Amino acid sequence: MQSIPQHVAIIMDGNGRWASRRGLPRTAGHRRGAKAVRRIVEFAAQHQVRELTLFAFSSDNWQRPLGETTVLMALLQQYLCQEIRTCLEQGIALEVIGRRDRLGRSLGEAIDRCEGATAAGERMRLRIAVDYSSRQSIAHLMMQCAASPSARQVLPSSPPHRRHRLSDQLASVVHAKRPIGDVDLLIRSGGERRLSDFLLLECAYAELYFTDVLWPDFTAQNFATALDAFGLRNRRFGGLSEASVTGQDPQVRHAR
């Protein structure tokens, strides 16, 4: 059976280009992008993905024109209000990660309502990153450690324990309800090949998949293709593949 990534993270890029190629305002691309979100969430939940983290708005996106950031926040709020029912039907726990202090009051209330209503979802955890910056969250955690001896317990002696505490504490910095798992597959649409300050620690051993498809055009089939590509990757996490230990790895034989 093909291996399914437990945690998929997606940088949903290309909304603006999708719109401008059609002579439409950029915000039209974001509206179509929200439709793509609905398809992909449903597909992921049906294909045994356990965690799906979507990059909807980076802390650097505040540099965009006010009209665009306002529409993006309104789309998010609309999404949260409309998707509660689908999340409940599909067993999806939805949460928003990132800074909360710069979001409007009504969006904050919609987040609380949606998180509260869907918290018991067991099938998949859907995280939407809003006003999120991986670098800022790491820096914030380091400042907490410097200021408080108890926060410094993030760095105890044994490595597996250390990793666990680190993700616990990072989760609290970005308001995640549970620790964010390591990303298995990072997908970026829209043709660029970079991480753009998204889940930098969690992507330490992520398989990266880049596609030129613009996000509003991203279909369930495109997602399935990314899952197929993941299934063909040989993940070693810094160790050796079984084949190279047993001498079956063609690359190793060639090098001898």
Q: How far apart are the first and last CA of the chain?
A: 32
Closest CB to ligand FPP: residue number: 16
With binding defined as CB under 6 A, does residue 16 bind ligand FPP?
Answer: yes
CB of 23: closest distance to ligand FPP in angstroms? 14
With binding defined as CB under 6 A, does residue 12 bind ligand FPP?
Answer: yes
With binding defined as CB under 6 A, does residue 13 bind ligand FPP?
Answer: yes
Interface residue with ligand FPP among 17, 50, 99, 100 (CB under 6 A) is 17
Cβ neighbours of 140 (radius 10 Å)? 16
- The Cα–Cα gap between 25 and 65 comes to 12
With binding defined as CB under 6 A, does residue 56 bind ligand FPP?
Answer: yes
Whether 234 is a known active-site residue: answer no
- The Cα–Cα gap between 179 and 199 comes to 12
With binding defined as CB under 6 A, does residue 44 bind ligand FPP?
Answer: no
Whether 13 is a known active-site residue: answer yes
Considering the complex, state which of residue 15 and residue 211 has its C-beta at the smaller distance from ligand FPP: 15
Q: Which residue, 165, 217, 153, 211, is CA-closest to 186?
A: 211
Considering the complex, state which of residue 128 and residue 176 has its C-beta at the smaller distance from ligand FPP: 128
With binding defined as CB under 6 A, does residue 103 bind ligand FPP?
Answer: no
Instruction: Write the burial class of residue 99 (CB in 10 Å: 0-12 exposed, 13-18 middle, 19+ buried).
Output: middle
Backbone angles phi, psi at 51, to 5 degrees: -135, 135
The dihedral of CA 63, 68, 70, 74: what is its sign? negative
Interface residue with ligand FPP among 49, 51, 77, 79 (CB under 6 A) is 79
Interface residue with ligand FPP among 95, 185, 190, 207 (CB under 6 A) is 190
183 to each of 90, 92, 105, how far by Cα in Å?
22, 18, 31
Residues classed as catalytic: 13, 61
Query: Which residues would be at the binding site for ligand FPP (CB under 6 A)?
Result: 12-17, 30, 33-34, 37, 54, 56, 61, 72, 75-76, 79, 128, 190, 215
